[in-house]
Structure 1
């Protein structure tokens, strides 16, 4: 028993099939064999009929579609393997990077805050002490300490800004542009896709549309193909092959019978009477 079934059209390829159909209907008047579009059946009715008969139409390009999805899956396989590999190695490297990044972030945030707070306190206390009479001896020390922490605050803020700039530049260098992430298909996949599109159009859609336009009984809401469609290959199961017994074998043959030979008696005249 042999199976000649076409591969099922995947969900991700249904939109592409609809684009092929829409392009064919949009350019129908450029083809003399489809010039009758809009007379008895309009483009929307033909589109409904072709969508209802998607499985039948795409069967005409079964070989090209099978090759296309095979090449596409092979091209996707290395990306999947790399993703799994990265997902296995990412936790260990990510934990170390996270610890380092977390410590740096804490320092970058706390250093300016703490230094600025200390500078404010020392300057405020130092200038208040300098207003007293007599001025305490350590008032100048408090003011100097305040200015020191003020300078430290400015340096911490500058360091944090530089760190943020370096992080932004590093992330920008490792991030893929949008056009690269959604770029064109590899050449082999693109060729397989074009071959499938051409086969669907030339061997599936166009014969279907021509048959629908030529069949006066075609129903736009029916999923049944037009009666004149005859180029769609047969899909299904072929019956087992049965062979008749060989000529030299006697088993299973019907016995043959011959009728007995009867002879009529000899009749004659008196001269032929038995003695």
Structure 2
């Protein structure tokens, strides 16, 4: 398309959010750390200035998205008495003349009738049992009363489950007035496709063209211990650490200190005046 549509003002905030996500991309953050690269603010200002040129990379998806959005806005609302698109269980069981159907009537009347019958049967049965404990009719009425009470509880539980399922179904399939649920779902898919195309084909390529190229195998700050070419540093054991050429002083033990020996042949030498053991006092 030679003349792509400009980015509408209502889509500018979405473009800015996508730009913020693209600036946090891993490859962009790596390129921003390169020497001489632009700062994040400088890159954001340039991308905002060239928004129309960047959005042109997703022209096909954007045209489809805006067309669906305009169609959804111009769709007239359904008449007030129209049936919902996905009628619930109560609506499906409604009678032909517009009144309540069989299911709502049974949901309301069955517990009331069952509990009324249970109260009457239990009251009569226990009164008869008090009057004559051996009376078979009294035991039968009491048993029938408890069965009616259980039937009323079961009917109430079934009615509550039906109402909950109806509320969930109607709430999940309900759409705002004037919208078609199928068209709304198609619009959500078109918006998602436009966002993906704008990010992958527009924003990321634009940011990389204004940043230094970073090779795929660029070394990181931390060593990659799992890479095939990694070798550990050549550390040596403590016993092989080279030491200085040091010699210890020539010390000798005290027992080897040389002492002068007496010269028994010297002219002035006199022997000690030893006495015999008997002369020792």
More helix by share: 1
TM-score (norm 2): 0.45
Compute the TM-score of the two structures, normalised by the length of structure 1: 0.46
Name which structure has the greater RCO, CA cutoff 8 Å, separation 6+: 1
